[in-house]
Structure 1
Amino acid sequence: MAEQAAEILLDRVRSGEWELGQKLPGEVALAGQMGVGRSTAREAIRILAGKGVLASRQGSGVFLTALDAREEWDAVLARAEILSVIEARTAIETEAARLAAARRTPAELRAVRRALADRAARREGLEDHVDADTAFHRSIVLAAGNPVLTGMFDSFTPRMREAMVEMLRRRGGFGGDADQQAHADLVEAVAAKDPETAARLSREHLETLAAGLG
């Protein structure tokens, strides 16, 4: 009932019944308008608040904060095409590489080198290789020392893994020496504390992946 009431309420929002920032009628009034109990109306408001449409302000009431429900992040990622995934990786990982080269600690550099060696050792099975590759790139992101970038990378990982597996299956080959060397070059830029080179190498690697989709 609450989900149905939330949809009814959302339809009213979409129809333009209220302006952005406007205060909605109280729970009792809304419940009466929708033909539901007050507790159902309260839960419907809570559902739409969770989707960013409404905001409950203590002592003031409920206000319209968006004209439609924001799409769930996981749903957006699930539909993303491989190129979109690579473009998003470029945005995250290029900056992460630049920051990693500027900020990495000796311990973080050792972790990056271990991840590189593990990646080199796991070039047989496709999915195993993708997992090792993901772990390598995450080690770079961790060395950037930015928890927001790390959180973005981690939330993005399931769709990224799916896209990389699909891309490599299409390509029919993976884990070649040139590819491994490109990753090794990135590590050396991070080791040398050369942010611009690290960022450039990260971007070039991902642009090469994107070009290979053609």
Structure 2
Amino acid sequence: MAQITRTSLAEQAADMILERVRAGEWPLGSKLPGENTLGPQLGVGRSTVREAIRRLAGQGVLTTRQGVGVFVAALDVVEDWEGLLRRADIVEVIEARTAIEAEAAFLAAERRTAADLRAMRRTLSERDIAVGIEAHVDADAGFHRAVIVAAHNAVLLEMFDRFVPRIREAMIAMLRIRGDYGDPHDQNAHAVIVTAIEAQDASAAASLARDHLRSLRAAVS
């Protein structure tokens, strides 16, 4: 007969804890019982409880506060970010980008430096002269990233960087179907965002960024 390993016991204990969280026994933000109480309830030892908690903490369900205890951080397993983006509809991704980039454009108008403006102008020019669909898509991403860099918000930048592979794949596919890219109207839509940021017109910059991405959403939906 095969023996049950400690790893499988920890997995089983983690599943039992998760089911009790899902059932509402421990609401969001509540503290779990200590190892001495939880172990007997689950029918496992303290070391197995600790491993189960580590597993659930890694999945975003629990969080450990040193010297305080273990708390419920989410009511279910937090899905892997890359996995979520791979499965997301491109329209959903563009909608999320709209929220990020409109706010980034607003902040960029308030915080941009001379170096930020130079980077935006350079990437705007690179976007205009890029030859080939893949080169155009990469140059476009470079421009939008320059705007987000100018917002000086590390979280917004990290979120955008996570979107890039998914967006790149979808945009290349879309432009290959259309057979064209980089028309003057589209380039101007990007140029006016830079103008608004340079003028420190935060409301206009945000509105222009939002309008551009909404038009992109309409094109792919």
Normalised TM-score (structure 1): 0.83
The aligned residue for residue 21 of structure 2 is 13
**Displacement over 6 Å in runs of 4+:** none
Alignment of 1:87-166 (within 5 A): 87-124=95-132, 126-166=133-173
Deviation at 1:203, TM superposition (A): 1.9
Write the distance in 1 (CA, Å) between the matches of 2:193 and 2:64. Answer: 48
Letter aligned with residue 213 of structure 2: L
Q: Counterpart amino acid of 1:101?
A: A
Q: Report how far residue 34 of structure 1 moved.
A: 4.1
CA contact (8 A) 1:97 1:144 kept: yes
Distance 2:129 2:143 in 1: 12
The code of the aligned residue for 1:169 comes to R
- Equivalent runs, 1:1-214 vs 2, <5 Å: 1=7, 2-124=10-132, 126-214=133-221
Letter in 2 for 1:112: M
Q: Note the residue ranges of structure 1 that are not aligned, 5 or more in a row.
A: none
What amino acid sits opposite 1:168 in the alignment? L
Question: Alpha carbons of 1:10 and 1:101: their partners in 2 closer, same or farther (altered >3 Å)?
Answer: same
Structure 2 SS opposite 1:212: helix
Q: 1:5 to 1:198 in 2, by over 3 A?
A: same
Shift of 1:136: 0.6
Amino acid at match of 2:104: A
Cα root mean square deviation, aligned: 2.6
| Shift, 1:137, TM fit | 0.6
Offset at 1:45?
Answer: 0.5
* Contact 1:85-1:163 at 8 Å conserved across structures: no
Deviations 1:112-148 (A, max 9, x none): 1111111122131x22221111011111111122333
**Distance in 1, Cα, partners of 2:212 & 2:80:** 30
CA contact 1:23–1:63 (8 Å) conserved in 2: yes
Unaligned runs of 5+ in 2: 1-6
3-state SS of paired residue (2:220): coil
TM-score, normalised to structure 2, is 0.81
Matched-pair identity in %? 59
